[in-house]
Amino acid sequence: MSIYAYIAAMALTTYLIRVLPLTVFRKPIKSRFVRSFLHYVPYACLTAMTFPAILYSTESVISGLGALIVAVVLAFFGKSLLTVSLASCVTVFLLERIISLI
């Protein structure tokens, strides 16, 4: 099968995924349960994709977990995104150095 057929099949698939909700749900959704469910779906998907990457993108799960804890604490106290990401990077760097000495 040609690579162009694969590209066309994937283009059709992604197009249908985006168009189908627009054609099925023409009226506003009145159910509070469904609306709240749809509101939280992007956050749940982002978390499901990001959380494993945080833990397993470093040489050690411990350094990833340490950076996650630092990021959550700083974000909880309202620090900027730049501060949170730089502090997390520094945490990974320091923990990796400490682990390599042990």
Distance CA 14, CA 18 (A): 6
pLDDT digits (tens, 9 = 90+) for 58-94: 989 999 999 999 999 999 999 999 999 999 999 999 9
pLDDT digits (tens, 9 = 90+) for 13-31: 999 888 887 787 778 888 8
Alpha-helical segments (H) within the chain? 3-24, 32-56, 61-76, 81-101
Range of the domain at 62: 3-101
How many structural domains comprise the chain?
1
pLDDT band at 47 (very low <50, low <70, confident <90, very high): confident
